[in-house]
């Protein structure tokens, strides 16, 4: 197969597209093949093409919570960034929304309706699809509490509807991580009863808290490690004396130690090595292995 671009009936698949600008870390190599479909028909057509070519398929949302290797990704990368259609039902207070919708925007739209249930989501820099897959949460709320069902793409191109029970939600995880399938749409059940002013005020409070406690001056992926409750990863890293520690262009944030920043020209390998270094130091001090929350895609150096 020569690399240039492939024209299907409803879309164009490009080759060797840089993924760095599509992740919040601003690192990562190229996609072998790439498409950002404008609608479900184009998504299904490109998915079918990749399967015919027997290529691996990676779905990419906002690129937060993600570290893509410097070598890039083989196969087809499908970006959901244009898939943002939604329907709000004023009778049932349900929102049907496509996977590429940014979660903060959805939280504000719900708040303006006076519908509660998504106030916690306003500071999460991801899309609906990614949030469903990892059961995103903050401020004591999470996806599992307000999701009614998710529509996922099957290997044969058909769409299956999964309930919250079938999604088997746990802390920051769902069955979709163990059996990867692409979320293309989600249905949220929200609550009425408060005024729009009240819901907007709560939403704003959550956003203000996030902005005041987390660093947003340099590219990052959000929280790097899962919290080994009852302690937090940030506290353990801070107590280990690693705030501000830098490796190449990657730095442990001064403002919140569970953030790694691209402090200028970091490579994915710099960030990967810093993640491993933090794990080692915390384990030496606390006999506890921190588990990354950030998803790593592609080839990384072997740690010996």
Kindly name the residue from 32, 119, 149, 293 that is annotated as catalytic.
Answer: 293
Which residue bears the tokens 């398929």? 57
Does the annotation mark 283 as catalytic?
no
- Determine, yes or no, domain membership for 228: no
Return the beta strands (E) in the chain as ranges.
Answer: 5-7, 12-18, 30-35, 57-60, 66-68, 73-79, 86-89, 94-98, 137-138, 141-142, 147-153, 159-163, 182-189, 246-247, 250-252, 260-262, 295-297
Does the annotation mark 223 as catalytic?
yes
What is the domain-level CATH number for residue 24? 3.30.43.10
- Determine, yes or no, domain membership for 241: yes
Global pTM value: 0.89
- Determine, yes or no, domain membership for 189: yes
- Determine, yes or no, domain membership for 135: yes
- Determine, yes or no, domain membership for 19: yes
Reading the block at residue 227, the tokens are: 């919290």
- Determine, yes or no, domain membership for 303: no
Claim to verify: residue 96 and residue 178 sit in the same structural domain: yes
Domain boundary among 26, 46, 79: 79
In whole angstroms, give the CA distance from residue 69 to residue 72.
5
Using alpha carbons, list the distances in angstroms from residue 142 to 35, 119, 133, 180, 232: 30, 10, 12, 20, 17
Claim to verify: residue 37 and residue 153 sit in the same structural domain: no
Kind of pairing between the strands at 246-247 and 260-262: unpaired
Kindly name the residue from 172, 174, 210, 220 that is annotated as catalytic.
Answer: 172
Claim to verify: residue 71 and residue 103 sit in the same structural domain: no
Claim to verify: residue 101 and residue 74 sit in the same structural domain: no
pLDDT tens track, the chain, 304 positions: 445 788 876 678 999 999 999 999 999 999 999 999 999 889 999 999 999 999 999 999 999 889 999 999 999 999 999 999 999 999 999 999 999 999 999 999 999 999 999 999 998 889 999 999 989 988 889 999 999 999 999 888 889 999 999 999 998 889 998 877 889 999 999 999 788 999 999 999 999 988 888 888 899 998 999 999 899 999 999 999 999 999 999 999 999 999 999 999 999 999 999 999 999 999 999 999 999 989 999 999 887 5
What is the domain-level CATH number for residue 114? 3.30.465.10
- Determine, yes or no, domain membership for 70: yes
Question: Which structural domain, as residue segments, surrounds residue 259?
Answer: 233-297
Domain boundary among 160, 181, 213: 213
Count of domains for the chain: 3
């Amino acid at each position: 197969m020569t690399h240039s671009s492939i024209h299907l009936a409803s879309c164009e698949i490009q080759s060797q597209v840089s993924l760095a600008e599509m992740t919040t870390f601003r690192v990562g190599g190229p996609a072998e093949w790439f498409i950002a479909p404008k609608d479900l028909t184009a998504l299904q057509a490109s998915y079918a093409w990749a399967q015919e070519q027997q290529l691996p398929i990676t779905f990419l949302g906002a690129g937060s919570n993600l570290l893509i290797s410097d070598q890039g990704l083989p196969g087809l990368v499908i970006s959901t960034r244009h898939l943002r259609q939604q329907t709000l039902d004023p009778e049932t207070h349900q929102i049907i929304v496509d996977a590429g919708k940014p979660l903060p925007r959805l939280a504000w739209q719900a708040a303006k309706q006076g519908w509660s249930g998504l106030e916690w989501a306003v500071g999460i820099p991801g899309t609906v699809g990614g949030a469903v897959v990892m059961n995103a949460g903050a401020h004591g709320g999470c996806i599992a509490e307000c999701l009614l069902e998710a529509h996922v793409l099957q290997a044969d191109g058909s769409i299956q509807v999964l309930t919250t029970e079938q999604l088997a939600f746990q802390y920051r995880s769902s069955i979709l991580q163990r059996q990867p399938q692409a979320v293309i749409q989600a249905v949220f059940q929200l609550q009425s009863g408060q005024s729009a002013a009240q819901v907007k005020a709560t939403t704003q409070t959550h956003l203000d808290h996030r902005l005041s406690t987390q660093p947003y001056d340099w590219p990052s992926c959000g929280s790097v490690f899962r919290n080994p409750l009852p302690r937090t990863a940030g506290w353990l890293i801070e107590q280990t004396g690693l705030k501000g520690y830098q490796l190449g262009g990657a730095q442990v944030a001064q403002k919140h130690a569970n953030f790694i920043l691209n402090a200028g020209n970091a490579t994915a390998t710099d960030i990967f090595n810093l993640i491993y270094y933090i794990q080692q130091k915390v384990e030496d001090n606390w006999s506890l292995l921190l588990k990354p929350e950030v998803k790593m895609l592609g080839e990384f150096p072997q740690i010996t």
